[in-house]
Structures are given as structure tokens and as C-alpha cells.
Chains A and B, each alone.
Chain A
Amino acid sequence: MARSNPAETALDAHSGDGYDASPPLVTGNLSFHDITDLVAYHAEKKTPVTWLMAFGLASTGAALLLIMLAYQVWNGVGVWGNNVPVGWGWPIVNFVFWVGIGHAGTLISAILYLFRQRWRTSINRAAEAMTLFAVMCALIFPTFHVGRVWAIYWTLPIPNQMEMWPQFKSPLLWDVFAVSSYFIVSLLFWYVGLIPDLATLRDRAALAGKTLRARVIGFFSLGWTGANRHWRNYEKAYLILAGLATPLVLSVHSVVSFDFAVSVIPGWHTTIFPPYFVAGAIFSGFAMVVTLLVVARKIYGLENLITLDHLEKMNIIILLTGTIVGFAYITEFFIAWYSGVEYEQYAFINRATGPYAWAYWTMMSCNLFFPQFFWVKKLRRSIPFMFLTSIVVNIGMWFERFVITITSLHRDFLPSSWDYYSPTWVDVLTLVGSFGLFFTLFLLFLRFVPMVAVAEVKGVLPEADPHYYDDHGDGHGAAESVAVRPSPSGS
């Protein structure tokens, strides 16, 4: 079944029509059908034992989270290490961390879509799923972080007998809106993109005689038949949702940063926060995508779909955003000095030299220095190295939130109120448990949903180009290279 390299042919004849022809986005000379098989297989095969083991481990973690939250609700917020002056401890650090992780997916799907970055297609499904799960993990923290979780619904604008609205001036309220709309739009966006692939799974199940499976998946595929009208509506909806999601990607972390920036506390009260937080979020989100996909592509044999080139592109983004974040750290220092306000100056000197200097330098080395290795192309394309870096970056980004939240609070204006913050075992296990929940959900995703956007990947294959056949026969089945292909469509 030899065929000519589609990239080559696309290059010489149609370099002007929006194709990024080199290097190829999918390697291994895969046909449409190969791609479908490759992806759908993992959602259809018998549950592997390793998956069960991984799932067992992850769901134990999720159960741990549940137990920790129950313990905290039963006894009170005091089971955590928070105190006065450090009213927000690990839970808020974890919240911002998870929201940050939840940035990459929608960024990849929406913004890169609008910018016609076609390489996104291999990774966007998994990245978006990661986003959703990360935001779920994130939402747990501010919810259970309040002292009276049973009254949390007071933050929602629900008409009530008290005639009380929430306080719209509070950044926490903006958070409620920003994160929940981000979650809803991301979910819709992910689901809409999933519909053609679900239909593929449905058809394959029907062909294999698995009626029940076909019916269940058929319910979620909303009667998709692949009709031209369906595709037209789909593309429109996808574009609109991408348009909606794009500002949300930027707004959600800007709003999260307002939690800090709107306050008066030195180290928090900073106008640089919104862009700096967004950059940090993209940084950590991409690192998490790399962490997950480096493993997933290996285990699931998707190296041809998620190629080294994809990973390298993400590493370049990590390098870029890491440098932006590092630049922001330095700018903060400069502005603190330049402001001439002694409280600001002290807050930053204290970060770098005070009792939490270890956290600050962990953050600096993980976020600013370590990603600089990606200037070296060899390291950028080294799977072990990028795996290591992606984990280091996420550790660094967790510490960034730790530094911002805790070092600013623990020593603010009046030295008399200065204190120290130490987490408790409940804090630690809650964080561990949130990873458990995240991986539980992600494993379920890998098991039951096509982890690569099959229809979209096919769309970036050279064969999907309407003019592809111009050089390979007449496009009507005459040329040998076309004629021998088993089937032009996915199913």
C-alpha cells in the first residue's frame, strides 16, 4: 500500500492555501480508517488490567479527598493550618493551581482554533478533558474552604426571602461567575467537538452488533449522521463556542487574580496580576498536558497522532510563558522598589529572604530557570526531559500560588500580627486527594471517550484537502493511488 508522501505533494502545489505542510502533523502514513481504528480501539477494547490498577489507585485518592472534606466539614476549618493573619492557606493555593491547569485545554481548542493552529487537533480533546477535570478539582476548594459550606449558595444571585443579593463588589463573587461560566462553556465546547466522534463509535458498535452500546452512545451523539447540513451546523457552533471560550480563557484567570489584586495587602495589590496569572496558567496548563500526553501517547500507541512535533510546539509555549512569568516576578520586584512604599518593598524582600524564602526560590528555579533548557532543541524534543520539566513546572507553579497567597499574608502591615503558616496533614491529604479525583476522571475519559479528535485530525490530513487529488489522478477514482485506498471516509 505504498503511497506518496502527502506532505511533499502538498508543499509544491498548494503552499499558498493555508496549509502548514511541513513537518507532517500525522506520521506513519496513516489512512483515515487507520486513525479511526487507532483511536476508537481504546474506547472499545476490553478493560486492560493496568487501567484497572491505575483506576483503583486514583479512585482511592478520590475517596481520600471525600474523607478529608467530610472530616473538615464535621469539625471545622480549623483542621487546616489556616490562621489569622493567613486566612487563606493551601486550599486557595490548590484552587488557583487547578484553575491554572484548567487553562491549557480551552486555550488549545479555542484560541489555537481561531488562529488556525492545525497541530492542535491531535491534542485538543485530551487537553480539554483535562481542563474540565482540573476545573472540577478547583471548584471543590473554594466551596469547602468557607466556614459554613451549607450556606455557600448565598454567593449565588438566587432570589430569596431575605431579599439579599450577593455583594457584587467582591472579587470572590466574580470568581463564582467567572469559573462557573468557564466550566459550562468549556464543557459545551468539548461536548460539541465530541459529537462526530461519538457517532463514529456508535456506528462501529452497531456494526459490531453491540446494540446497547450503540444506543447509549447514540443518545449522546444526538442523531449525528455526518450529513452535510450537520457538518455545516457543527462548524458554525464550534466556531461560535470557540469565540465565546476565547475571552473566557483570558478572563477566568484574570478574575482569579483579582481575588488578590483587588485587596490592599502588599504583594497582592498589584496591577500586573491579570496578565501574569494568565501566562502562568497557560504555562502550568501546557505542562500538565505534556505530562499527561507523554504518558498517554506511549501507552496507547498514539505516537503517530501526537507526534514529537506536537510536543515540541507545546514545549516552546512552555518556554515562552515561563519566561513571561519569570519576567513578571522580576517586574514585581522592580515596581515594589519603584513605588517607594515600604510595605510593598518589605513584602517582596520578605518573599526572597524571609521565612518562606525556600518556597520563593523553589518557584523561581522551577518556573524561570528550568524551562530555559528548552532553548536547546535536543532537550525540547527529548521525551524524558520534557516529562521531567513538565512536572517541575507544575511544582513551580503550585509554589508560585503558595508564595503569592501565604508570604503576602503572613507578614503584612503591622508586625504585631505577623505569624507563620504551616499546613496540617489534612491539608496535605486533601491536595493528594484532589489529584486522585483528577486522575480518576482522566482515566475514565481515556477509557470511554475517543481521546483524540478523530474527525478533526482527519481534517488536517493532506487527503482532506479538496485539491489533494489534483496531482493524484482526477479525484474521481481514476488514479491508482486513490483507487487502492480502502475507504475515503472514517467509518
Chain B
Amino acid sequence: MIELPILDAAEATDESSRMRFWRSFSHLRKDPDFQKIAQQEFMPGALDEPGGATRRQFLQLMGASVALAGLTGCRKPVQTILPYTRKPEEVIPGIPMYYATAMPFRGVLRPLLVESHEGRPTKVEGNPEHPASMGASGVFEQASVLTLYDPDRSARVLREGSEASWQDFVNFAQQFAAGAQARRLAVLCEPTSSPTLLALRDRLAQRFGQVDWVTYEAAGDDAEALGYQQAFGRPVRPHYRFSEAEVIVSFDADFLGPTARNYLADTREFAASRRLEAPGDAMSRFYIVESTYTNTGSAADHRLRLRASEVPAFAAAVAARLGVPGAGSQGAAFADHPYVAAIADDLRRAGARGVVLAGETQPAVVHALCAAINSALGAVGTTVRLLDTGVPATPSVDALRALVGRMRAGDVDALLMIGVNPVYDAPADLDFAGALQQVPQSIHLGLHVDETARASRWHLPRAHYLEAWGDGRSYDGTLSVIQPLIAPLYDDAHSEIEVVNVLATGLDESGYDLVRARWRSVIPGNFEEGWRRVLHDGFLPGTAYPAVTAAAGPVALSGLPQPREGLEVVFRLDPTVLDGSFANNGWCQELPDPVTKIVWDNVAVMSPATAEALGVVAEYRVGRYEVDRIDLSVNGQTVNLPVWIVPGHPDDAITVNLGYGRDIASNRPRRVTGFFDLDDYTDVYGQGHAIATGVGVNVAVLRTADSMHVAQGATARPTGETYTIVTTQDHGSMEGRPLVRMTDLETFRANPDYMLEQEPTLPGGEPWTEYPEPWAEDHPREQPAYHDNPYYKNQWGMVIDLNACTGCNACIVACNSENNIQIVGKTEVGRGRELHWLRLDRYFVTAGEDDVDNPQMVMQPLPCQHCENAPCESVCPVAATVHSPDGTNQMIYNRCIGTRYCSNNCPYKVRRYNWFNWTKTLPITLQMAQNPNVTVRSRGVMEKCSYCIQRVREVQQRAGLEDRPILDGEVKTACQQACPAQAISFGDLNNPDSEVVRWKQNPRRYEMLAYLNVKPRTSYLGRVRNPHPSLEPTEA
């Protein structure tokens, strides 16, 4: 056994001969206190008994604090609010501010005016000064404000899926750029028209050895731009002026649908050509050849259903008949079609006042053909203006294919993806996700942690356009600055300009500086003055693309695609969620499809004959639709989809909408409540996943780079499963009732009172308006009693022109946004509990029983009719719904006890009821989207359209303060303001010069269900079709 020498303390500290090890200065100095401590095995206090309170004291203290806490426990925690100590200039609490800005949409800007309440944007309007909007706004602009507040928006920079900071990314970018000349960078960007971003693109190209800038959009190539470039030999953009047109022919162009780039201006122009103030007025004739029923098709005078692959031949037949050079014999199949004859006949007669256009499903050559037809008609310069964009159009899908090839080959060191989601929607044959794995540094900039974000190395949260500076051009080329209304909700969020700038320069500069720097060369004259002007107006006048005149060259039609046997699948952008970028937006998900009225789902749309051939049904059962599911296979891929049957859809074709089947990450937990508490059920946002997740099916995987719009040779196999589809309108026939009154132009001219005569009169046959209309001679407006109450001065009324309405849904979303209308989710919509104050009724109309395959479709916006003799008012036991002195039917939420008798007694069924408390669990960010001027309703009360009474009162107050009468058009309801067709007129019936009075005197005016003598304040202007005589042999 080895004995080790025992060291005593003195020896141990003897440092004379060895190296000295010391712990601290006190050790080194041999401080006696330290010596004492060093002797001890444990540090001081470690062996002491626990000090402080004894058990008894502890219990005493706890008891006392519980008792004292109990005293205060009944009170809410004190949260002190303070007024602004120094009030920001211009801000008056309660008075909203409006800022001009613009929203990037599919490569163009939609000019906007955004309402802000104490720094919180709440409502989007069109910029009334801007030529591309004229105050109108569409579904997506309206809904974008909810996307800003989307509780699932990405908030943090992610690196390899775990949280990082913006600075980490900046550091990475600087390192990456260190060897910039050797780096091969690729950028996959959404279509953009931003001068600042394009300038940064050039700087990127200067800095890096190789930069591939690829523009990519889920919708694929911009075939129109390619086609017009092909026809005219230079990059021109057609700008249609339908108001000048006598004959409009659409080859599968859904130009009145909210997904179209220039739909706001196009709809306005189109509606202008349809407005009939007097029977003698001229009206355009609109033909459409469609591969699926769209709301554009519902506006047509003649609609022909054709498979998308047959449309080119049809267009060629029309061209051949018109003698357009190069048309050749490609259209032989349709040479004898009566529609071809009628269209050609009409176009020839219209000449320069005719216009043809083709849709996104059509290849570039068909667009070129349209360009040639327009050119041959002499329409260039009258109904079609050619705007010289100066940017050559390139096939973007080919560029994407090339990029993916380089990615796979390892030729891309870093890929920056801006606002795109290729992992979700790139053509399946490219296998983008696989190629992305080959890229060492992939950077995704997007609003959500989506499919692509999770497959990328870096994810950067993108700043919403309402949060960041930017710029761009509207469809006509007018330059605008995108002005933010709020600082980014999340610190990490940055705009694409800022991100590209970091890569291009290595500097973390603010978007404001970058945009201003770029605009210094844009604004002529004094920059600061001009900049302020641009911000105020929202655009820089005079910057539109120049219009050019050119003649189309001959079109080579040899490459026309030929229809093939078997099913064909048409891919469309969804009219409610676009390409999926609005899929996580509750307003969009709950917005009914304009045609199918389906919410929260996408379907395989087919004709009744195709459904029968496939042996599938969509059965209406107890308030919902039980539909079959099919396995739809094309291009070697299969998706499982529920079917939907739309009469008027071409046979042997299936239409599917993109944008569903999203998988967006969410970090909001699932709401868990006790069994007795339905909060977990009623909380649409509390399901534990993003609201888009699990809704519908992603059909983009069926596409290949060659069949981005139309895929042929598909097969569909019923799987035997059924699925519940929920619509907001279950019944599509008017049952012969005079609801939407329509006739053709000849009948209307022969009998201008046709619309009014459609209704039964009151018993005895007297006219139903017993009380004089406010503008009538015998109206008591001159009587003193009428003036006792200042509110009697204005009598509000509305007229909706069914001839102008195209059913695009913009009004519904505008109403949602203005009036704090909550979403209720699929199940509750299926139970008939949606809360939309304004709905668009869609009816199919057939001339005869045997023509069910070719029905017409009519749209009818239905807000509260504000009956003067309102049946809802007299039945409320507590007087919670009453008539205002200015003639609106008002709902007093505070007073309502929720008997629902008013709703039962409403013949229009426009009242909506809060079956549950929909706002109790609203995420905090979404609470910021609420309009403070409109009560947020709690459970158990009725609600309905108020004619935007808050807007009426605001204007009345302002006019009262300024001691002046209210001007005509000063009050605009949200639906009216949004409507791109200007189909809604609202105003004071007491003002004989007001627009609404003029509309009310239109011979087409009628009131729905007038026989009930409810005297609605909302009138409709009947629909008049303008059919071609040769296609309308019998008069219904």
C-alpha cells in the first residue's frame, strides 16, 4: 500500500518553492479572512439552517396575503391610459386620416386611399384621383388590410427553421457578398413594376458575378404581353376602352373577374357601355366564349361554352371570317358555327368600335390573333390603346425551368425568393423543392412561414405593403409611391427593397431612403415639393406609358394548340384567394365564389353531362351539399378533389382553382376549453393551425411547365368518398319570381315600363307607392313639420344597376371591412349563419326547360332594402330596430334582446344574427382591423346593413359644422365606393339634382317584392340584354 504524505494546511499553502496557483487576490495576499474561508469545506451559509421566515411566519404571511389579495381580487387590474402629451400634428382622435398609397398586384399597382384611425389602417379604398382606379377597389385590395393583421404572419427571421435576427441575416448577406464576383446569385421574384427594385436589380448584377433575375407568378406566363409583342413586334400592353365599344368579344377572357390585372378600370369601362338611362340609349353587345362559367360570363349577352383548347380554333374561325391575314383554315371546325357568323357580322359592322380579347387560359398566339383582329378592325386607338411598356415580355415559365436546371446542377450559390411560393405552386415536373435542396443558401422573403419558407435556409418576414415604402406602376404605367401607414408590426419584417439592398450593397438601409433616392431621378423639378405632391396624390401624373399606334403583323397560326380527346383540366386563379396568397385571409375564405357560392373549399367544376359521364353527383342534403370526390389525374400526378356541377360549363372539361391546400405555419395554440364551453369551436382562429391550412386541395401539382393553364388528357375516377361542401346560396333558380327582372333591348325599347309591369300590384290594382316619393310634387317636404327634425332634411335611398353589376364580390369585402363583419368558419356557414350584410344572389336563368346546359347567370347584390314600411320594425317587442328620421332602418344593438322575429319577418332575409360571441376570441392583431366607428357586435343580437350610417352621420356632422347642405355624392357607402362598375348609387332622395334621384327615375327601376307594400328604399335597375337577332330566334 502506498502511503501518501499528508499535507497540512501550512504545507499546502507553502508557495516558496513551487509555482503558485491562486484563486483570487485575497488568496494571493493570504488574507486572513480568506484563509478562514478556505479552511471550511463548504461556503459560508451552505450549512446554515434556512433563514428568513419560519413555517409559522410563512403561513401567517401567506394567509394574510391571500386575504388581502381577495380584497382586491374583484377589481380589474389598473391599466392607465394617458392622452398624447404632445399631440402629433394633424391627428384628431376619432377623425380618421386618409393616405394615398398603392397595392402591388400581379405586377401592377392598384392605387389606393387608406383610412387610418390613430395610426391604424382599417379600410382600403380606391384612389379616386387615379385613372386606373377612379376610387374603385377590388376584393384583394379590400382584403389586404386583414392580411396586414393576419395573426399567422411571420414575425421572426428564421435560419434553418430556428429563430434568428435581422442582424444575423445582414451579417450573412455581408459575408456572402464578400466574394461577390465569384458568387452566383439567383432571384425568383414576383412580377414587379417597382423602379426602385429594378434599380437594385441592376446593382445586384454589378456586384455579383452572376445574377439570374427570374420573374415568376403562379398564373404562369403573361400570354397577353407575349401575344401583343408577337403581333406588333414590340412590347405593348393593350389598354381596353370598352366604353367606346359597340361589340365586345372575349375568348375566354375573365377580364371582369377580380383576378384580372386591370379589372377595376376594365369593369368601369365595360359598365359604362351598359348603362341605359333612357330606352333610346346605345348599349354594347358582349359575346363571350368561355371554358368555365365566370362572373364575366354572367355579364355577357351571348355566352358560348367551349373547352379552353377549342377556343383558339373558334377565334381563328372568327378571324378567318373577318378576313384577318394569316387566319388560314385553323378554324375550320367552327366555320359554320352560328356564333362565328354573328360575331363576325357584328364585329365587321362595329369596325373600330369592336374589340376582341383573349384570356389567360389561351396561349400567346391567340392573344396575337386578337391583336391582329383588333388591328384589322381599326380598333387600335379607339377601343384598344397600345401602351408602350418598353419592357420586352419574356416567357417566365421557360426562365423558371432554366433556373431550376441551374439550381439542380449546383450552379446557384444563393437563391432569393421574393413574394413567391414555388414549392407550393411551381409546375410539378420541375420538382422545384428538390432543386431547392441543391442551393446552399436559399432565402425566402414572404408574409408567412409557408411551404417555401420551410424548405429554405433563410426565411425573412416580409413587410406588408401598408408597412413599408415601395413604388411601382399601375396598369397604365402611372408611377406611384407605396406609402406605409404603420410601422412594421414585427421588428424583423422588411420590404423586398430593403432585402435586395442588403444583398446588393451590404448596407442595411431603410426603404424610405432607398425609394427617395430612386425617385430623385423620377420627379422633375424641386424634389421635396414633388415628393410631397406624389405622396399626397398617390401618383405622379403624366408618367403613364405612351400610347402608340401600330399595325399588327401577320400571325403565324400554325402553332395553334389542338383539342384532344379526353378530359381537359383548366387551372384558374381563384377569385377569392387568388394564387393562395390570400388563403390565410378570413374574409377571402368566407367570401363566396362568384359563381359556385362555395366558401372555404375548392372543387373540380364540371358540367352536368360530364358529371353524369363520370357518375358523380353533388347532392343537396339538409342544407349542405354532399358531393362525390374524384381522383383527378393528369401529367402523371393525381389529386383528390370534391366535384361541383355548374350548368354552362363545357363538357369533357374540369376547372380547378389554385390557391387552396396551403400549409402555413402558425404558432398560435389550439384553444382548449371545458366540455361545456364552445369557445374552442367558435374561435375560427383558435384551431391550432393557420386558417388556410387544411382548406381545399392544392391543384398546382397537376401542372407542368407546358400546361400551366390547360392540361389535356386527364382522367377522373370517382373514389366513392363524399365530402361536405358549404355554399352561401343553396338554391339557384328564381322559381319564376320577378326578382332579377330582365328583358332584351328590343322589348325594353318597345315597352320601357317592362320592368315595373313584372310585379303584381296591390289588391285592387292601385299602384303600390301610396306615399309620395320624396321628389314627387305632393311630397310633404315643404310642410313645417317635416323640418322640425334636422334629420328629415335628408332621405337616403339606393339604386343598384343590375345591368352594370358584374358580380365581382368587391362590395361584399368592402362591407366586411367597413362594418366589422366577423367570419364564422365553414361549419357555421353550412348552418346558415354567415354574417355578410351584403350578399350577391346568383340565379341561373334558362329560356326553356331543354336548355339547362346553356343557362344565363344573373347577379343581384342584396343589402338591406331599408323598407319605409319595414316589416322587421313592427314585430320587435323591445323597439330595437326602428326607423330613422332620414329614412333608414336602424338596428340598435344595445337594445336588441335577440328574439330574431325581425329576421323571420324580413322578406329579403338580409338580417344576420350573432349566434355565438364571434369577437370574444378575436386575436389581438385582428382587433386592430376593426373600424372604431362601428359597434363590434356581441352575441345574441341581430345585425344588418345600415346604409353605412356611420358615414352618413360623419358627413352630416361635418356639413353641420360647416353650416352647409350635404353635397350629392359626399356620402358614399362602402359597397358603392368599392364598386368598380359603379353599379350602386346612394344619396339623398330629397335632393332633386342628386344622382340617386336621377337613377330612380330610370325607366328600368323597380323594387323587389313591391307587392308586399314594404316600400323599399333600395331600388334595382332591371337588366337588359342586347342579343344578336340571329341568335335569338324566339322571344321569351
Q: Footprint of B on A, CB under 8 Å?
A: 71, 74-79, 81-88, 142, 145-149, 151-152, 154-155, 164-167, 169-173, 176, 259, 262-265, 341-343, 346, 355, 409, 411-422
Contact = CB atoms under 8 A, between A and B. Distances in A.
A421 B622 CA distance: 7
A76 B915 contact: yes
Nearest to A79: B678
Contacts of A164: 878-879, 895
A414 B676 contact: no
15 contacts: A76-B915, A76-B939, A77-B915, A86-B832, A146-B898, A173-B877, A264-B1012, A265-B904, A409-B904, A414-B907, A415-B737, A416-B839, A417-B908, A420-B623, A420-B832
Contacts of B814: none
A75 B678 contact: yes
B280 to A, nearest CB: 33
Given A155-B897, A263-B905, A416-B841, A71 B877 contact: no
A414 B909 contact: yes
Interface string B53-96: 00000000000000000000000000000000000000000000
A165 B877 CA distance: 9
Nearest to A417: B909
Interface of B: 622-623, 676-678, 682, 729-737, 739, 760, 828, 831-833, 839, 841-843, 860, 862, 871, 874-879, 895-901, 903-905, 907-909, 911-917, 939-942, 1008-1009, 1011-1012, 1014
Contacts of A411: 731
A166 B878 contact: yes
Contact of B940 (A71, A74, A77, A176): A77
A342 B899 CA distance: 29
Contacts of B905: 263-265
Contacts of B733: 415
Chain A contact surface mostly: loop
A77 B678 contact: no
B827 to A, nearest CB: 11
A82 B900 contact: yes
B999 to A, nearest CB: 22
Contact of B900 (A75, A87, A166, A414): A87
Given A77-B915, A415-B734, A85 B841 contact: no
A172 B901 contact: yes
Given A75-B677, A78-B916, A154 B622 contact: no
B877 A85 contact: no
B896 A148 contact: yes
A77 to B, nearest CB: 6
A146 to B, nearest CB: 5
Contact of B907 (A142, A154, A265): A265
Contact of B917 (A76, A146, A420): A76
A413 B841 CA distance: 13
B891 to A, nearest CB: 13
Give the one of B730, B871, B900, B939 with max A CB within 10 A.
Answer: B900
A83 B871 contact: no
B737 A342 contact: yes
A422 B622 contact: yes
A447 B833 CA distance: 47
Nearest to B735: A415
B909 A147 contact: no
A149 B896 CA distance: 11
Contacts of B676: 71, 74-75
A167 B841 contact: no
Contacts of B682: 75-76, 78
Nearest to A405: B904
A270 B458 CA distance: 70
A242 to B, nearest CB: 31
Given A83-B623, A421-B623, 11 more contacts: A76-B678, A79-B678, A83-B832, A147-B914, A147-B941, A170-B877, A172-B901, A264-B905, A412-B907, A414-B909, A415-B739
B736 A342 contact: yes
Give the one of B682, B732, B939 with max A CB within 10 A.
Answer: B939
A172 B903 contact: no
A166 B913 CA distance: 21
B913 A147 contact: yes
Contact of A422 (B623, B871, B939): B623
Nearest to B835: A84
B874 A170 contact: yes
Contacts of B739: 414-415
Contacts of A155: 877-878, 897
A166 B623 CA distance: 35
A342 B874 CA distance: 25
A87 B874 contact: no
Contact of A166 (B735, B833, B879, B1011): B879
Given A75-B677, A263-B871, A84 B911 contact: yes
A159 B911 CA distance: 30
Contacts of B735: 346, 415
Give the one of A86, A169, A176, A416 with max B CB within 10 A.
Answer: A416
B939 A147 contact: yes
A411 B876 CA distance: 22
A343 B908 CA distance: 13
A215 to B, nearest CB: 44
Nearest to B909: A417
Given A83-B831, A415-B733, A416-B843, A147 B940 contact: yes
